[in-house]
Amino acid sequence: MTEGPSRARTIRVEAIARVEGEGALDLHVRDGRVTRAHLDIFEPPRLFEALLRGRGFAEAPDITARICGICPVAYQMSAVHAMEDALGVTVEGQLRALRRMLYCGEWIESHALHVVMLHAPDFLGYPDAIQMASEHGEAVRRGLALKKVGNALMRLLGGREIHPVNVRVGGFYRAPTRGELAPMADELARARDLAVETARWVAKFPFPAFERDYEFVALRHAEEYPFNEGRIVSNRGLDIDPSEFDSEFEERHVAHSTALQSVLKRRGSYLVGPLARYSLNFDRLPAEVQALARECGLGPQCRNPFQSIVVRAIEVVYACEEARRLIAAYEEPEAASVPLTPRAGTGHACTEAPRGILYHTYTLADDGSIRSARIVPPTSQNQLSIEEDIRDVASAALDLADDALRDRCEQAIRNYDPCISCSCHFLRLSRHQE
């Protein structure tokens, strides 16, 4: 940073290393006003949609799982549901329950990693989880234990925890026996207690007083807290079937990002992820989880993005509960998958990845080969919202010194758990005269 005669300063974080996706922060301030807040994304285009063209419909879950090592289940779930929509098939009963259970595993491991290892150090003033561990060992051990249970559930249902191999269009390659699932129920009961302790721990963190009037967008189901099914709704009246995604949302190219930015056609930025899911579906949480949320200082809606860490912790509690409930009610299905007949058609699906809604649409030829594919991940939907958060967070914190201001902005980015691999701290700050 430099303070020139016109009191201009620039804060640039060149490489947000170890985020899944290569990004940088570019903040310009002139005469006490933020003039630019860009999240530059320079990750090379990955071309998955083109890669899918010409492949068989059955390959989509395994190919798209490779998009992310942290949330492969989200990619698999959106892929299989979109394909089933195209093929006119609905997967119900215990196979549906197993998919929900698998998603619980992913939420647990992804959220536990972010809450404890990546985000908590921001609030407690440590540069990373390793240094935090020497004084908050118990909390870190809880986080590791939670992640382990999430991984174990994914391994049990998916064959392995990273890029699971047991998911197929129509169901699974193999369904677990009751006996195989039974020990998981005990582990999940213990995990639930650890998750409750984690929620109480993060609830005590100091949160900057900051709220924004977001348009929250999430799935909403008639009875359940959403994973794989529901309408796409918002707090400003949006209420559509996933097949209508393109009538309300569009992806735009912006010069500073290789990721497309998704916006609501008529209203611009919106927010997906834990804050939106929670605020639109609080009434779908079991009473005891609602009570815990209140005890942790949350109302039925949460507009402070810094409190997303508390919401994630609450969602971990819910995912442990829900997986346990599903295991208790589990009966082995007669077949691990439903039969499918290839046909021409278009299918759409939206599911709730840990970071928010993930939309897939595919068009198939008569033989079931993929003619076109489109994938809209949560982080591209949140990109504009992240930039608006940085702008407002920075505007309210301009009295901070550069290092502190940079830290606050980084923290605002990490509120989103922007698709990970992110370890903790990594940023270079370049200072120059504007």
Partner 1 sequence: MTLVIGVGNPDRGDDGIGPLVARRIAECALPGVTALARSGDALALIEDWAGQESVVLVDAAMPNGRRPTPGRVHRIDLLAGPLPPGLALSSTHMLGVAEAVGLARALGMLPNRIVAYAIEGEKFEPGAGLSPAVAGALDEAVARVREEACALLAHPAEA
Q: Interface residues with partner 1 (CB under 8 A)?
A: 18, 20, 69, 113, 117, 129-131, 133-134, 137, 140-141, 144, 147-148, 151, 162, 421, 423
Residues 408 and 37: beta-carbon distance below 8 Å: no
Beta-carbon neighbour count of residue 377 at 10 Å?
A: 26
Shortest Cβ 68–partner 1 spacing (Å): 11
| CA–CA gap between residue 121 and residue 130 (Å, rounded) | 9
Give yes or no for a contact between 414 and 391, defined as CB atoms under 8 angstroms apart: no
Q: Who contacts 404 (Cβ-Cβ below 8 Å, separation ≥6)?
A: 397
- Smallest separation (angstroms) from partner 1 to the CB of 369: 25
Q: Distance between CA 433 and CA 420 in Å, rounded? A: 32
Q: Whole-angstrom Cα distance, residue 280 to residue 224?
A: 12
Closer to partner 1 by Cβ: residue 151 or 351: 151
E strand segments, 157-277? 167-168, 171-172, 217-220, 231-234, 239-240, 249-252, 261-264
How far apart, in whole angstroms, are the C-alpha atoms of residue 334 and residue 93?
11
- Which residues share a beta bridge with 26? 12, 38
Spell out the residues 6+ positions from residue 423 whose beta carbon is closer than 8 angstroms to its own.
17, 18, 118, 128
Least gap, CB of 353 to partner 1 (angstroms): 18
Smallest distance, partner 1 to C-beta of residue 362, A: 26
Smallest separation, CB 21 to partner 1 (Å): 11
The nearer residue to partner 1, 152 or 357, going by C-beta atoms, is 152
Q: Tell me how far apart the alpha carbons of residues 71 and 428 are, in angstroms, rounded to a whole number.
A: 27
Count of Cβ atoms closer than 10 Å to residue 432 Cβ: 11
Looking at beta carbons only, is 144 or 400 nearer to partner 1? Answer: 144
**In this complex, which beta carbon is closest to partner 1, that of residue 117 or of residue 289?**
117
CB of 13 to partner 1, least distance (A): 19
Nearest-approach distance from CB 93 to partner 1, in angstroms: 33
> Looking at beta carbons only, is 113 or 353 nearer to partner 1?
113
